[in-house]
């Protein structure tokens, strides 16, 4: 792709569901000239929501990529889902992006998934700008949302625009434009062309004092960023626009501040200034630090790759779209370049991969927009040809290998049993599930040979519902579906020290091994199991036998517990002792002893069943707060807070996932359809005794 690296912007649109991300993306495509007509979410005609499931539900399910030009800048834009069940799509996109636009609804403000995606952006140090959307809606309040962002997200929002009016056309002072506090101009948008033309005007005299006051508020945090700006202010000289923009850019790139813009994407109002903001304030690949990885032969040896064609080639696979003609591997190139028909290495899998074709990505369409000959550092594009790589793997030059940090995804919380109607469907189902697993790292499928059923797991009811529809509608499978069940975990409730041994006669040889283990519960019950070696000194075992024991323990730690064979969590297992003899103490004997000790530790450590807990963020009219709180308490929920959010009330609560099946329908019933709820995984806690008893424990 021919372009200067400094003029490239790899950005994502992230937000809570229904804040307007896809509409913002669609309007960006329209006003930039990449589309001749703007599509709509409700009509299912947007460029990025091209899957039938997305069009029917009116939500984004799969991340999609589009590329367009805005003035002198090339933008690779990833539109991401807002529903918590598909948060993995946000995770993988933020892992490879340089910047982000965070969209908030001017009516609902900072919502639950807003906080989640903000934390994800913090995790990857992604600079971001803010767009407060839907200011043409009833109850919209730009200033209230601006005030919420700081304390709720631990952020420093800096308004560089303020709205002119708020609300729909029938109110006394409807939203009709914005005031640019940098240029000190008013921007009006033409209704004749869906806001494609932005008209600059002088600020009306009745708005000038308010605009100047907000300009002073904007400049205050910039003085600590730019000493030159501060000196000019102290000397009471005029502040050049370019110097203000430079300070805003510096603060945004360092994540000290987040410039805030506003508008109504549905009517195209504020989208052009938002695109200017992307160009002015979000980073190019050159503005980001060198990516850090490690030597595949020595994990302690750190390596760097700069965003330069002179550095060796390295890229990260962040998404896979299965296809009959060859899987589509979405990659982000961090350094160097690659041509079609090249050979690269996947050091994670220790495999050589062939990159037969390179394509520019356009949404998620299989009819790709254009084949290209070469990718260079900074590019986000599609490769066809690799066979062994999975999401999160590194592709690099065979002469200069590096392993980049992979992408960590949340564990599944909900499962559903499915069963093919006949043996003909069984093979086809297995192939489809394997394909879906390649596409979605948060989807899992395990077949039970005894029952003939397959257990599919995902991030929530909507996630499994989408999978269910894909199996029946997209792949025409004849499959039975059973009621979803919660994905429990198992841990221990108390510390214990146990001994396991092997003392068996095998032919003429007396096998012998003794292993001592210490089991301790961790403070966080949902944390991964930790396996440690604390057996040192003269009495310790030979390294080969000790390695065998540790390997066996780590393998068992990834298995199931004693209550319902659910995955283990929240414990530390330490090897603290062992005994061997000159004859008969081999690896097999120590594997048997290690397993014996492991079983004893789980049994004597007060086995505990853990259930997943969800964090609920509920928005409701004040009239229904009492009924909703009462219903939550019946579901074993803990109410953390209730607060006023403009004309609505907000409730934050934590409740077991088991009690929340069908909750979205229940809350609509309680509030006559006026309340809404979003939820996200929060962690695990001990389940009631009757839950463990239901598994015969």
- Residue-wise pLDDT for 32-48, tens only, equals 988 877 777 766 677 77
Are 559 and 615 in the same domain? no
Q: Which of 165, 158, 181, 167 is nearest to 134 (CA)?
A: 167
In a domain, 404, yes or no: no
In a domain, 316, yes or no: yes
434 and 537 housed in the same domain: no
Any idea what the CATH number is for the domain that residue 587 is in? 3.30.230.10
Q: Tell me how far apart the alpha carbons of residues 683 and 526 are, in angstroms, rounded to a whole number.
A: 6
Of the pLDDT bands very low, low, confident and very high (cuts 50, 70, 90), residue 505 is confident
Q: For residue range 449-483, what is the model confidence (pLDDT) as tens digits?
A: 656 688 899 888 889 999 999 899 888 999 999 88
**Model confidence over 182-216: pLDDT tens digits?**
999 999 987 665 667 788 999 999 999 999 999 99
Question: What distance in Å separates the CA atoms of residue 516 and residue 534, rounded to the nearest whole number?
Answer: 10
Spatial neighbors of 459 by CB under 8 A, at least 6 apart, are: 84, 85, 86, 87, 88, 410, 412, 413, 414, 442, 681
pLDDT at 653 over 50: yes
Q: Are 131 and 19 in the same domain?
A: yes
Average pLDDT estimate for 224-229: 94
Reduce the DSSP state of residue 85 to 3 states and report it.
Answer: helix
Query: 528 and 499 in one domain?
Result: yes
What's the chain's length in residues? Answer: 697
Mean confidence (pLDDT) of the chain:
90
pLDDT at 503 over 80: yes
- Evaluate whether residue 403 is within a structural domain: no
Is the torsion defined by CA of 175, 181, 186, 191 positive or negative?
negative
**pLDDT at 356 > cutoff 90:** yes
Q: Which of 356-365, 413-422, 621-630 has the highest mean pLDDT?
A: 621-630
pLDDT in tens, 658-680: 999 888 778 888 988 788 787 88
Residues 194 and 73 in one domain: yes
Same domain, 454 and 475: yes
Last residue of a domain, one of 577, 605, 633: 605
Q: Is residue 409 part of a domain?
A: no
Q: Which residues pair with 239 in a beta bridge?
A: none
Both tokens of residue 19? 């804040």
Residue that is last in its domain, among 554, 578, 605: 605
Which of 221-225, 645-649, 690-694 shows the highest mean pLDDT? 221-225
Structural tokens at position 189 = 């948008």
Contact 436, 456 (CB under 8 A): no
Q: Within a domain: residue 302?
A: yes
Query: What is the pLDDT, as a whole number, of residue 3?
Result: 60
Q: Tell the residue number behind the tokens 């203000």, with chain if given.
A: 244
* Whether the predicted pLDDT of 367 surpasses 60: no
648 versus 21: which is more confidently predicted? 21
620-655 CB burial, b ≥16 within 10 A, e <16: beeebbeebbebbeeeebeeeebeebbebbbbebbb
User: Are residues 508 and 591 both part of a single domain?
Assistant: yes
How much of the chain, in percent, has pLDDT values that exceed 90? 65
Write phi, then psi, for 362 (nearest 5 degrees). Answer: -135, 105
pLDDT of residue 116: 84
pTM of the model: 0.78
**pLDDT value at residue 422:** 84
DSSP per-residue string spanning 244-301? HHHHHHHHHHTTS-EEEEE-BGGGTBTHHHHHHHHHHHSPPGGGSPPEEEEETTEEEE
User: Total domain count for the chain?
Assistant: 5
- Predicted pLDDT at 546: 94
**Domain match, 423 and 385 both:** no
pLDDT band, very low/low/confident/very high, at 96 (cuts 50, 70, 90): very high
Across residues 616-621, what is the average pLDDT? 89
Residue 331 lies inside a defined structural domain of this protein: yes
User: Which CATH number does the domain housing residue 211 bear?
Assistant: 3.40.50.300
Per-residue pLDDT, 579: 94
Domain end call among 345, 367, 396: 396
Cα separation of 648 and 621, whole Å? 5
Among residues 336, 332, 349, 318, the alpha carbon closest in space to that of 399 is found at 336
User: Any idea what the Cα angle at residue 227 is, between residues 209 and 236, rounded to 5°?
Assistant: 40
Q: Are residues 595 and 627 in the same domain?
A: no
- Whether residue 2 is predicted with pLDDT greater than 50 in this model: the reply is no
Q: Is the pLDDT of residue 368 over 60?
A: no
Q: Is residue 402 part of a domain?
A: no
What pLDDT score does 534 carry? Answer: 94
| 1 has a pLDDT exceeding 60 | no
Tell whether 507 is covered by a domain. Answer: yes
Same domain, 159 and 253: yes
Q: Return the bridge partners of 456, or none.
A: 416, 445
CB 136 within 8 A of CB 266: yes
Query: For position 361, what pLDDT does the model report?
Result: 84
Does one domain contain both 209 and 68?
yes
**556-608 tens-digit pLDDT:** 999 999 998 999 999 999 999 999 998 889 999 999 999 999 999 999 999 99
Do 172 and 89 share a structural domain? yes
Q: State the pLDDT at residue 366.
A: 45
Q: What is the pLDDT of residue 451?
A: 62
Of residues 450 and 151, which shows the higher confidence score?
Answer: 151
C-alpha count within 13 angstroms, C-beta hemisphere, residue 265: 28
Which residue range is the domain that position 584 belongs to? 490-605
Residue 648 has pLDDT above 90, yes or no: no
Report whether 549 contacts 594 (CB < 8 A): yes
Backbone angles phi, psi at 466, to 5 degrees: -65, -45
């Amino acid at each position: 792709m021919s372009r200067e690296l400094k003029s490239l912007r790899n950005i994502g649109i992230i937000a809570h569901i229904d804040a307007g991300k896809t509409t913002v993306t669609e309007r960006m495509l329209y006003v930039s000239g990449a589309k001749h007509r703007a599509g709509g979410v409700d009509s299912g005609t947007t460029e990025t929501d091209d899957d039938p499931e997305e069009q029917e539900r009116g939500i984004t399910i799969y991340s999609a990529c589009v590329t367009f030009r805005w003035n002198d800048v090339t933008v690779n834009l990833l539109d991401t889902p807002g529903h918590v069940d598909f948060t993995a799509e946000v995770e993988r996109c933020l892992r490879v992006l340089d910047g982000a636009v965070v969209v908030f609804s001017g009516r609902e403000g900072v919502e639950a998934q807003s906080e989640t995606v903000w934390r994800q952006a913090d995790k990857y140090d992604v600079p971001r700008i803010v767009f407060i959307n839907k200011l043409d809606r009833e109850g919209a309040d730009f200033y209230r949302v601006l005030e919420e962002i700081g304390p709720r997200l631990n952020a420093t929002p800096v308004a560089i625009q303020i709205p002119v009016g708020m609300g729909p056309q029938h109110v006394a002072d409807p939203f009709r434009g914005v005031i640019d506090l940098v240029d000190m101009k008013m921007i009006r948008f033409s209704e004749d062309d869906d806001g494609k033309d932005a008209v600059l005007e002088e600020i009306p005299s009745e708005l000038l004092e308010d605009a100047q006051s907000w300009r002073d508020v904007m400049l205050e945090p910039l003085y600590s960023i730019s000493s030159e700006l501060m000196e000019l202010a102290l000397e009471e000289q005029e502040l050049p626009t370019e110097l203000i923009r430079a300070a805003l850019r510096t603060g945004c790139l360092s994540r000290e501040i987040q410039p805030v813009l506003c508008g109504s994407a549905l009517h195209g109002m504020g989208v052009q200034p938002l695109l200017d903001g992307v160009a002015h304030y979000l980073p190019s690949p050159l503005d980001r630090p060198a990516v850090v990885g490690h030597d595949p032969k020595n994990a302690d040896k750190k390596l760097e790759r700069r965003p330069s064609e002179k550095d060796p080639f390295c890229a990260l696979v962040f998404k896979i779209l299965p296809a009959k003609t060859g899987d589509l591997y979405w990659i982000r190139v961090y350094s160097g370049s690659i041509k079609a028909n090249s050979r690269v290495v996947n050091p994670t899998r220790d495999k050589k991969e062939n990159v037969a074709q390179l394509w520019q990505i356009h949404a998620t369409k299989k009819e790709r927009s254009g084949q290209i000959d070469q990718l260079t550092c900074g590019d986000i594009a599609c490769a066809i040809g690799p066979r062994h790589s999975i999401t999160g793997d590194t592709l690099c030059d065979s002469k200069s290998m590096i392993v980049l940090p992979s992408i960590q995804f949340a564990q599944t919380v909900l499962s559903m049993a499915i069963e093919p109607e006949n043996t003909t469907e069984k093979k086809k189902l297995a192939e489809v599930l394997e394909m879906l697993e390649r596409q979605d790292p948060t989807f899992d499928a395990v077949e039970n040979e005894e029952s003939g059923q397959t257990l599919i797991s995902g991030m929530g009811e909507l996630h499994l519902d989408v999978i269910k529809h894909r199996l029946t509608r997209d792949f025409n499978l004849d499959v039975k579906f059973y009621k979803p069940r919660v994905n429990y975990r198992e841990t221990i409730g108390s510390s214990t020290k146990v001994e396991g041994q092997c003392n068996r006669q095998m032919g003429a040889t007396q096998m012998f091994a003794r292993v001592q283990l210490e089991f301790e519960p961790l403070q966080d019950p949902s944390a991964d199991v930790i396996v440690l070696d604390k057996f040192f000194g003269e009495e310790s075992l030979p390294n080969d036998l000790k390695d065998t024991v540790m390997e066996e323990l780590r393998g068992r730690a990834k298995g199931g517990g004693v209550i319902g064979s659910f995955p283990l969590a929240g414990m530390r297992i330490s090897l603290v002792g062992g005994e061997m003899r000159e004859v008969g103490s081999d690896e097999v004997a120590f594997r048997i002893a290690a397993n014996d000790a492991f079983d004893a530790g789980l049994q004597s450590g007060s086995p505990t069943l853990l259930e997943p807990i969800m964090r609920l963020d509920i928005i409701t009219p004040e009239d229904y707060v009492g009924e909703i709180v009462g219903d939550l308490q019946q579901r074993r929920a803990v109410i953390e807070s209730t607060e006023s959010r403009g004309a609505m009330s907000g409730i934050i609560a934590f409740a077991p996932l088991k009690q929340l099946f069908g909750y979205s329908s229940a809350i609509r019933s309680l509030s006559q359809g006026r309340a809404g709820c979003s939820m996200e995984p929060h962690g695990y806690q001990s389940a009631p005794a009757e839950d463990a008893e239901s598994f015969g424990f």
